[in-house]
Structure 1
Amino acid sequence: MTKKKSSSMMRLLQYIKGHWYAYLAGGFYISVVEAAFQVMVASLLKLLVDASLAGDLNLLVKSIGWAMVGLLTLAGLMPGIMRLFAGAVEKATLALRQDLFNHILDLPMAYHEQTHSGDAVTRLTNDVNQAKEAIGEPPFQMLSLIVTATVTTAYLGLIHWQFVVLAFTLTILPILTNRYAGKPMRRASSEVQASLASLNAKLKDMLVGMPVVRAFNLEQHFTDAYASANAETRRLGCVLSHRQGLNIASNNLLSSATFSSMLALGTFLLLRGEITPGEVLAAGQLCNGITNPMRAFGETWANLQRALGAADRVFTVLDEPQECWQAVEQVADISDVDGSMVCMREVAFAYANSNLVLTDINLKVRPGSVVALAGPSGGGKSTIFKLLLGFYEACAGECYLRGRPLRSYSLEELREQIAFVPQDPYLFAGTIYENIAYGRPDATPEEIFAAAKAANAHDFIMDLPEGYDTQVGERGTQLSGGQRQRVAIARALLKDAPLLLLDEATSSLDSESEHLVQEALQRLMQGRTTLVIAHRLSTIEHADYIYVVADGRIVEAGTHSELLDLDGLYRRLYENQLRAA
């Protein structure tokens, strides 16, 4: 049986630890000040009226004096206490957002490939900001409303017991209606936040793909798609507003009924001579301490439910399991590995809820050799890279690195030994210097410059006005394709890992850029074991060994000349590319 998770509210409160004194001081102030104000005003009214009718000037002056002292005390304490309270809430929000960011960073690749990045952005920004309200003023405002109603009801009891009976009877109804309305409002709030995430995802798609949008005249398509998502957000927002409105209206109606009933009872008791005129006015003022909370409770409750709906979305992500290995010990039977840098033995793999995409994969990569993966698109070559990088675990069989099962390494240890150059190199917004330094963050400037020179990147970098401080833009859009490739190669050179995984991408480059990139790649591969995904077979003619992957299987293997002699799939692909050149 799985352990039941704590409520979102309790989990949010855990982020307050270390700041409890400031938080509770502010919460106590918020909760008590309204009740104190209502009692003070009611007492003052009673004393003023009764003192005036009795002609007691001394009592009148004393009453005003004490009231002023009380009000000034409450007002003077407010700024300092509320600053401490707000600071505690902001620190808790900071910790929550940082935890969510760290957790998203450590989620497995399967999560990131199945979840739009716009959704993660929405949860880190909109949802966290909304969830903050659940530990901000709303819960203490609700407590304040309850305390105020309780204290004023007790004070009414000192005036006449019948006020208490009436107040208790009339306050049961809003408690029941608010409890009934809470879950639908919270569910509607989560739906609104999810719709906002979808809206953000569509906006991000359009902005990132703007060149394609323009080139294919897709402006109207994206306009319509965004308008449709926007309309759905509006519809869900209306549903939430409708539920909130009904709840607020019912509380206002019950509040008006309470005020009228209390006023009628006070008039009746005055006519019977059971209370004084001052007590009637005090009861009227105290009635506000019941009716105002009844009016405000609905809106405050709605705000709290909206915040908890957002918190539910935050904790849904925090409850996702992080990337981890099912660790194994070193196995005794590794006779087939025999000194290979990389070995895959009878490996099979399937993505979640899909058929096998790799079946019975057996391959070896000798230290210092260059081994290529060739074959038609969708055959499973990129999936092999994902397994070696630890993005996914094999369903069957075993992968080895340096004679050890991959899972005997920690993920950090595994990836420290691999340099990866993807087909479409990703550059982060920032400078060229920073993007190269990601290969080894503790590298010296001299090492970074040396890596750039080896990657044939130094010359073009120095020709830029800002040199290494040039901003590359989002995804490196300020650089050409060949320049991005060379910066990515410099990053891999700087890492200086023994195993290189290279997803070849020279087919989209002009001849000059291709020459520079190929020259840089030759330097990168020197002294390293290289496994390369080849999209143009002419680039792997001198590879030490080639595996041909199709339909998730290795269908052919050998050197370039051996595969041509086989007169199989490799030869057909090679000749087709020669004819197309």
Structure 2
Amino acid sequence: MSFYKKLNELLNHLDKKKAYIFFTFASCATFIGFRLIMSIVNQQLIDGVMSNDNISNEITITIIGVVLSCCSFPIFMYFRGKIIRNSIMKMRLSIFRQALNLPQSYYDNHNNSDVMMYYTYNINSMEETYGEPIRAIVNDIMFGVCSIVMIFIINIKMVLVNIALGILLLSVNVFFNKYIEKSIKLIYDRYNVVLSDISEIYSGIKDIKVFNISEYIYENFLENNKKYETESINLNKIQSSKEGIGYFFKMLNFIFLLFYGSFLVKDNLITIGDMVMVILLHGSIATMFLTIGGTKGILQQAFTCSDALNKFYLEATEKELLQLASHKRSTKDSDCNYSVLFKNVSFNYGNANFQFNNLNLKIQKGEKVALVGYSGSGKSTFIKLVMGLYIPCDGKIFINNQLIYGDNIENIRDDISYIPQDKLLFSGTFEENIRYGNSKITISEIEHICKLVGLHDYIQLLPDKYNSFVGEHGCALSGGQKQRITIARALVKRASILIFDEPTSALDIRNTESIMKIIENLPNEITVIIVAHKLHCMEFVDNIHVFDKGHIIESGNHTELINKKGVYYDLYKSNNKKDEVFI
């Protein structure tokens, strides 16, 4: 991709691109105009003093230039800065919205740190570049061009020497740029790894402590951080070498101008004022060529971040993928009395092996269903397909007679409540955590639901009742209490389908039986789907489907499957033996 296309894409992230460009040039023009006026005034002052002329005009011009510059420059910089801040805020909102719209498969294939990179490193780098670097580039080039014109008027040889050395500086910068670009990309990747290490500490701190692997984790982080540091130091070496060579040529240019200009003054070919002006302006010409040659290197970090952000925005959203998958498929089905209907559904995780291949399953409205099977048999995949988190390769999935596709996924999910295995709670009050399921529900309705799930009496013992805080992720609560909150949250949603993912996996026998009793007594109009390992609590369900390698190999109620003495019977016996051990 060309430099100008990359620069245009970087600027396209700004909310008001044209206004930003205008205020950038306006602020630079104000600053450069003042410096040029001061250079001319200095020339006139020195020559005037040397010839005893009246310098009142020069003093007046200086005062007017200072006043105009001091008034206009801050105004231009204010509006420019405002555009940058507003753009960065909207970029963060866009990233957050895109993160919410991405499908489950994106998060399955990416680390938490990948998205965090966009919020932190990418945004911060781009914000920094929109600030001073871009303005400095425009300022250096504009001032350099103006300086060439001014010195050309005084002496053409001085200009030609400045331009010749400038072209040499440009070549040096172009040479170093390819190494700078490579180094910045490596730094970006190294930083992503470091951020991933930090993210894993937060998500896995319990396991780290329990397995006593803090030192191992630290050593791993130390190694990755060292690689990041090494690449950063390497970039610093490259940039320092480039700056050192540039400084050498600038000093060489200064020495030439000093001696050559002295001879010109001695021969009365230029005045002392001219000489001072040349000395004041010559550095801007060298700086201009350094900037032109180094612009790509200066902006490379922002280009890398902008490219990554553009790729993130181009990731297909969940709705887009669902819409594509359901294209030209009928949105209605003749079987209209099912809560869930799978018709010839095939699905895989991006490899050649299908998790499901032509799966067919019907779940009646109001039916209580259990999904059982060994780990990896397809139970969790099935419920993720029901919720539209995964998209089938082929076949149709109907929820309450609606085909899952892009435009209706939100409506379908409004009719589904999900009680996850990990019991996600937010750092708020009991009421707030339950109200997430339905923001319009009244406190009396919340209390009624909490009585149904056996949570009300416990809450009444707390000082602030329903306004009591649950702690960070519910740290102050037991496993059973957390589970009751998640069930209450699901019930207040008033969905017609409730999905329980291992609802008793981390509970003792007493809490397990209590939770399963709550599920058993749910209203008959609610369809219940349970992913279960503890099979001794499944006697009450209407149907049990046994999964094995993506296929349903047995179906029936508990008694029928026990009498069949197939896979379910073996699972049930194995399950009971484990429970006896724990008892």
Same fold (TM over 0.5): yes
Query: Counterpart of 1:494 in structure 2: which amino acid?
Result: V
Structure 1: give runs of 5+ residues left out of the alignment. Answer: none
Q: TM-score, normalised by structure 1?
A: 0.92
The answer for the alignment partner of 2:311 in structure 1 is 316
In 2, Cα distance between equivalents of 1:280 and 1:92: 45
Map of 2:128 onto structure 1: 133
Match of 1:196 in 2: 191
Distance between the aligned counterparts of 1:323 and 1:157, measured in 2? 62
Which stretch shows the higher mean deviation, 530-539 or 38-47? 38-47
Tell me which residue corresponds to 1:358: 356
Cα deviation for residue 125 of structure 1 reads: 1.9
Partners of 1:444 and 1:510 in 2: CA distance:
32
After the TM superposition, which residues 519-558 of structure 1 pair with which residues of structure 2 at under 5 Å, given as runs?
Answer: 519-524=517-522, 526-558=524-556
1:206 pairs with one of 193, 201, 204:
201
Contact 1:89 1:136 in 2 (8 A): yes
In the other structure, the counterpart of 2:236 is 241
Map residues 341-356 of structure 1 onto 2, 5 A cutoff: 341-353=339-351, 355-356=353-354
Shift of 1:53: 1.8
Q: 1:224 to 1:332 in 2, by over 3 A?
A: closer
TM-score in terms of structure 2 length = 0.91
Instruction: Say which is worse superposed, 78-87 or 92-101, in terms of deviation.
Output: 78-87
Partner secondary structure for residue 356 of structure 1: coil
Q: Does 1:38 align with 2:35?
A: yes
SS at match of 1:143: helix
Look up the match of 1:285.
280
Contact 1:545 1:560 in 2 (8 A): yes
8 Å contact from structure 2 (residues 174, 293) kept in 1: no
Counterpart for residue 367 of structure 1:
365
Greater Cα shift, 519-528 or 312-321: 519-528
CA distance 1:177–1:96, change in 2 (3 Å): farther
Question: Alpha-carbon deviations, 1:36-77, whole Å to 9, x = none?
Answer: 243223212221221122111x1x232233223312321233
CA contact (8 A) 2:429 2:466 kept: yes
Q: Which residue of 2 aligns with 1:107?
A: 102
Q: Which moved more, 1:4-13 or 1:514-523?
A: 4-13
TM-aligned CA deviation for residue 537 of structure 1: 0.9
Is residue 141–residue 300 contact of structure 1 (8 Å, CA) maintained in 2?
Answer: no
User: What SS does structure 1 have at the residue aligned with 2:318?
Assistant: coil
1:149-160 equivalences under 5 Å are 149-160=144-155
Q: Which residue of 1 aligns with 2:330?
A: 331
| Aligned partner of residue 372 in structure 1, secondary structure | strand
Q: What code does the residue aligned with 1:254 have?
A: F
User: Per-residue displacement from partner, 1:164-212 (whole Å, max 9, x unpaired)?
Assistant: 2222222223334434444543443343233223212212222332222
Aligned pair in 2 of structure 1 residues 331, 287: CA closer, same or farther (>3 Å)? closer
Which whole-Å CA distance do the structure 2 matches of 1:464 and 1:199 have between them?
42
What secondary structure sits across from 2:170 in the alignment?
helix
For 2:311, what is the secondary structure of its paired residue? helix
Measured against aligned partners, the alpha-carbon deviations of 1:255-294 in whole angstroms (never above 9, x if no partner) come to 2233233334323433443212221122111213324555
| Cα deviation, residue 307, structure 1 | 2.5
Task: Report the AA paired with residue 255 of structure 1.
Answer: K
The aligned amino acid for 1:436 is: I
Alignment correspondent of 2:158:
163
Give SS of 2:377's match. coil
The farther-off stretch of 263-272 and 39-48 is 263-272
Deviations 1:146-167 (A, max 9, x none): 1111101100111122222222
1:48 counterpart = 2:6: no
Going from structure 1 to structure 2, the CA distance change for 1:260 and 1:309 (only over 3 Å counts) comes to farther
- Quickly say closer, same or farther: Cα 1:61–1:230, change in 2 above 3 A: same
CA distance in 1, matches of 2:428, 2:292: 48
User: Aligned partners of 1:322, 1:88: CA distance in 2, in Å?
Assistant: 28
Deviations 1:536-568 (A, max 9, x none): 111211211111101111111122122112221
Q: Secondary structure at the match of 2:405?
A: helix
Write the distance in 2 (CA, Å) between the matches of 1:559 and 1:102: 44
Q: The residue matched to 2:446 in structure 1 has which SS?
A: helix
Q: 1:562 aligns with which of 550, 560, 564?
A: 560
Distance change >3 Å, CA 525–CA 481, structure 1 → 2: farther
User: 1:126: Cα distance to partner?
Assistant: 2.3
Whether 2:481 is the aligned partner of 1:493: answer: no
Cα distance change, pair 292–466 in 1 and its aligned pair in 2 (3 A): farther
Change (3 A) 1:415 1:357: same
Structure 2 counterpart of 1:27: 24
Say whether the 8 Å CA contact 1:367–1:528 is kept in structure 2.
yes
C-alpha distance in 2 between matches for 1:500 and 1:35: 68
Do 2:345 and 2:397's aligned partners in 1 also have CA atoms closer than 8 Å? yes
| Aligned amino acid, residue 41 of structure 1 | M
Question: Deviation at 1:487?
Answer: 1.0
Following superposition, the deviation at residue 299 of structure 1 comes to 7.5
Structure 2 residue identity aligned to 1:342? V
Structure 2 residue 272 is the aligned partner of structure 1 residue 273:
no
Are the equivalent residues in 2 in contact too, given 1:244–1:299 (CA < 8 A)? no
* Separation in 1, partners of 2:476, 2:375: 29
Question: What is the SS of the residue equivalent to 1:174?
Answer: helix
TM-aligned CA distance change 1:458 to 1:255, over 3 Å = farther
Unaligned runs of 5+ residues in structure 2 are none
SS in 1 for 2:544: strand
Q: What's the offset of the Cα at 1:474?
A: 4.1
Could you say which residue in structure 1 is the equivalent of 2:393?
395
What does residue 410 of structure 1 align with? Answer: 408
Alignment CA distance shift 1:156-1:568 (3 Å): same
Aligned length: 575
| Counterpart in the other structure of 1:377 | 375
